[in-house]
């Protein structure tokens, strides 16, 4: 699978998915945005990358995280 992120920051989809799923219950949307911060801008160049992450969250049945990821994307003007 391709890396998601900036040069020098190798966050593959599985690593990013793992970080999001491991966030504590009661986490805030800002916590999700903090995890996604390093990769959001790179997603503008390749929309397949967020699709991989969103698909993984769907397989994990984490609609709550999908919603937060989409809100973070919208706040950074990343096409949803």
Other Cβ atoms less than 10 A from the Cβ of 55: the count is: 13
pLDDT of residue 2: 46
Distance from the first to the final alpha carbon of the chain: 21
24: its two tokens: 């504590």
Residue 20 has pLDDT above 70, yes or no: yes
- Residue 5: pLDDT above 60? no
Give 8 or 19, the one with higher predicted confidence.
19
State pLDDT tens for residues 40-72.
Answer: 888 888 888 899 999 999 999 999 999 999 999
């Amino acid at each position: 699978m391709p890396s998601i992120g900036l040069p020098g920051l190798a966050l593959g989809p599985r690593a990013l998915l793992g970080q999001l799923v491991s966030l504590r219950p009661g986490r805030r949307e800002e916590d999700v945005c903090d995890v996604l911060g390093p990769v959001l801008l790179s997603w503008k160049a390749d929309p397949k990358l967020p699709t991989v992450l969103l698909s993984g969250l769907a397989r994990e049945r984490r609609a709550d995280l999908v919603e937060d990821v989409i809100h973070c994307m919208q706040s950074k003007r990343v096409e949803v």
